[in-house]
Structure 1
Amino acid sequence: MIEKRALQAVVAVACLLPFVVGGQGIVYGPAPFGHLADVPRDLDSHFRYISGIFFATGIGFASCIPRIEAKGARFRLLGGLIVVGGLARGVSLLMVGVPSRGHVLGLVMETIVVPLLMLWQWRVERTWQLSRS
Structure 2
Amino acid sequence: MSDSDTSLVSKRAAQVSFAVAGIVPVVAGLWGVFQPLAGAVGSQLNHGRYLSGLLLAIGLVFWASIPGIERRTARIRVLTVVVVIGGVCRLLGVMLGDPLSLPVAGALAMELAVTPLLCFWQSRLAPRE
Same fold (TM over 0.5): yes
Give the 4+ runs in structure 1 shifted more than 4 A: none
Equivalent residue number for residue 116 of structure 1:
117
Does residue 1:81 correspond to 2:88, yes or no? no
- The answer on whether the counterparts of 1:23 and 1:55 sit within 8 Å (CA) in structure 2 is yes
Counterpart CA distance in 2 for 1:50 and 1:124 is: 31
Does residue 1:56 correspond to 2:30, yes or no? no
Aligned residue among 36, 56, 64 for 1:29: 36
Q: Give 1:28-47 correspondences, 5 Å limit.
A: 28-31=35-38, 36=39, 39-47=40-48
Over the matched positions of the two proteins, sequence identity in percent amounts to 35
Tell me the matched-pair count. 122
Does residue 1:101 correspond to 2:102, yes or no? yes
Could you say what the CA RMSD is over the residues aligned between the two structures, in angstroms? Answer: 1.2
Q: Which runs of 5+ in 2 are unaligned?
A: 1-7
Q: Which runs of 5+ in 1 are unaligned?
A: none
Look up the equivalent residue of 2:120 and give its one-letter code. Answer: L
Equivalent residue number for residue 92 of structure 2:
91
Counterpart CA distance in 1 for 2:44 and 2:98 is: 20
Q: Secondary structure at the match of 1:99?
A: coil
> TM-score by structure 2 length?
0.90
> Greater share of helix residues, 1 or 2?
1
Alpha-carbon offset, residue 97 of structure 1 = 3.4
- The answer on whether the counterparts of 1:98 and 1:104 sit within 8 Å (CA) in structure 2 is no
Counterpart CA distance in 1 for 2:52 and 2:12 is: 29
Alpha-carbon offset, residue 40 of structure 1 = 2.6
Alpha-carbon offset, residue 111 of structure 1 = 0.5
